[in-house]
Amino acid sequence: MSNAVSFDNTPLESDRQEILEEQLNTLYEVSQVLSRSLDLRETLAEVLSLLHDRGGLSYGMVSLVDTESGELQINALHQGGIRPLEKVRYQPGEGVVGTILAEGQTRIVQRLADEPRFQDKLNLYDPELPFIGVPIRVGREPVGVFAAQPPAGQALLSGRARLLEMVANLIGQTVRLAQQVRSSEKALKAERDQLRRKVKGEHGFANMVGHAKPIRTVFEQVRQVAKWNTTVLIRGESGTGKELVANAIHYNSPRAHGPFIRLNCAALPDNLLESELFGHEKGAFTGAVSQRKGRFEQADGGSLFLDEIGEVSTAFQAKLLRVLQEGELERVGGTRTLKVDIRLIAATNRDLEEDVRGGSFREDLYYRLNVMPIRMPPLRERMEDIPDLVTFLVRKIAAKQGRELTVEDSAVRVLMRHDWPGNVRELENCLERAAVMSGDGRIASQAILLTAMESPLLPLAAEPLEPPEADDGPLDDENMDERERVIAALERAGWVQAKAARLLGMTPRQIAYRIQIYNIKVRQF
């Protein structure tokens, strides 16, 4: 210990043993306090209180270095009781406390009033009492100062200082653990936020591609319904993107931070479906070796997406209805009623109205589900969206394959002559097959034709690719500028951009660009 002033009277051996035993007991109790909680401020305050009550050390203070400013900041203070933290800071080397930090050495002052460098910033210490300050270290680096005042005339000040050094070592270990916990929490929060941004990006509105009127209607419905807890029924053919819409609803809703649980109802028979949705108790049936939460419980506080809801049997529909009406369920084999708070999103490709009339779907469940219906249009009703969908899907496939991919305009024209009975899913599969067969990364029309699309191409006569000899007059009239030709083609095509592009021998992207630059107001029907 440097700069230590000691005028200790030599105590009797019995007194020395008593003091030593007292210090060991105090040290043991301090270690117990420090192991109770990871709340650093609360734990340090308890340590100071203990040292005051058991160790005879008054006016305890623990200050730790602020990692941003490098200054000493008060973290715990005791004066006959826990004091509110003072907004007092010490620079390294400033006063007695700052000097202890800068030098990393223990300091013992016999009488505080005799120390010229003492600054009574806290208006706390008794100038007539001794003062002991010790550095708090993490490893070899001083990260703080622990100080207190023993009673006046106290023998063995050096022994008291040794006690403070041992307590400071314990505090240093606690500080190290707290730093590691804070670092881990910060890393976990950063990872959580990154994953949330990634998930929201993958399932947000940006992945819902299209400009056709039917899909724009869907986008608007999704934006509106996402704000509320309303039950949603997504309807449409297979491959139209019903799950994509369900994702967008959840991840843009107030429940986005809660779980999003999915289940395909058509994949399981009734007995397994009941266990999967409601959970089961241990021993409820053969193989139930432990208790298991069902999808409803797992989705508590979030959203539950039930795909192919129309495939559920009428017997199971009654059980499902109770949960939707009351928000209550019992696990299979259980007797305890559980409350769940979920937002239900269901999807089906069946004609539920016809099923209700035929008696294969309960009418009360139908009305419980059909609160906010969203109809997904088939791809054949939004053919003008194919160029945008191709761009989006090819980018997705390129990321999966780890290379650059491009699509030639001739390939897009071929894709627009197909009626797509499998909808967007069929389009994506077709493009992925074409990408596999395009070694140079350029997807041409020949690669598309070799993908064995599930239905034949529409005949050229149905929607000619070349400008026809029409009764309305030619579109290549020299007296017409390009803007007038585009408007004339749109009028002739009923303002369907894809058809107008074929009349002009353009791609849909080319005509969309001209509509934008010529500021042509597109008519809606």
pLDDT in tens, 236-265: 999 999 999 999 999 889 998 899 999 999
CA distances 225 to 201, 241, 246, 367, 372, Å, are: 19, 17, 11, 17, 8
pLDDT in tens, 59-95: 888 888 887 778 888 888 887 655 555 577 888 888 8
Q: Residue 283: what pLDDT? A: 78
Q: Above 60 in pLDDT, residue 452?
A: no
Q: Residue 84: what pLDDT? A: 55
Q: Above 80 in pLDDT, residue 143?
A: yes
Walk me through the domains of the chain, giving residue ranges and CATH numbers.
13-181 (3.30.450.40), 205-377 (3.40.50.300), 381-449 (1.10.8.60), 465-525 (1.10.10.60)
Look up residue 183 and give its amino acid: S
In 246-302, which ranges are E strands?
A: 260-264, 279-280, 292-293
Query: Quick count: other Cβ atoms within 10 Å of Cβ 247?
Result: 23
- Residues 475, 438: contact at Cβ < 8 Å? no
Give the C-alpha separation, 389 to 416, whole Å: 11
Give the C-alpha separation, 191 to 194, whole Å: 5
Please report where in the chains the tokens 């030619």 appear, as a residue.
474
Give the C-alpha separation, 280 to 289, whole Å: 10
Residue 524's nearest CA partner among 241, 225, 209, 217 is 217
Q: Given pLDDT bands bounded at 50, 70 and 90, which one contains residue 466?
A: very low
Q: Residue 82: what pLDDT? A: 52
pLDDT in tens, 342-382: 999 999 999 999 999 999 999 999 999 999 999 999 998 99
- Residues 407, 443: contact at Cβ < 8 Å? yes
Across all residues in the chain, what is the average pLDDT? 83
Q: Residue 368: what pLDDT? A: 93
Q: Given pLDDT bands bounded at 50, 70 and 90, which one contains residue 453?
A: low
What is the model's pTM? 0.58
Q: Above 60 in pLDDT, residue 503?
A: yes
Q: Given pLDDT bands bounded at 50, 70 and 90, which one contains residue 463?
A: very low
- Residues 134, 164: contact at Cβ < 8 Å? yes
Residue 163's nearest CA partner among 87, 259, 54, 286 is 54
Q: Residue 232: what pLDDT? A: 96
- Residues 349, 310: contact at Cβ < 8 Å? yes
In 417-499, which ranges are E strands?
A: 442-443
What percent of the chain has pLDDT above 70?
Answer: 86
Q: Residue 477: what pLDDT? A: 67
Give the C-alpha separation, 202 to 180, whole Å: 32
Radius of gyration, alpha carbons of the chain: 38
pLDDT in tens, 303-348: 999 999 999 988 889 889 988 888 888 888 888 889 999 999 999 9
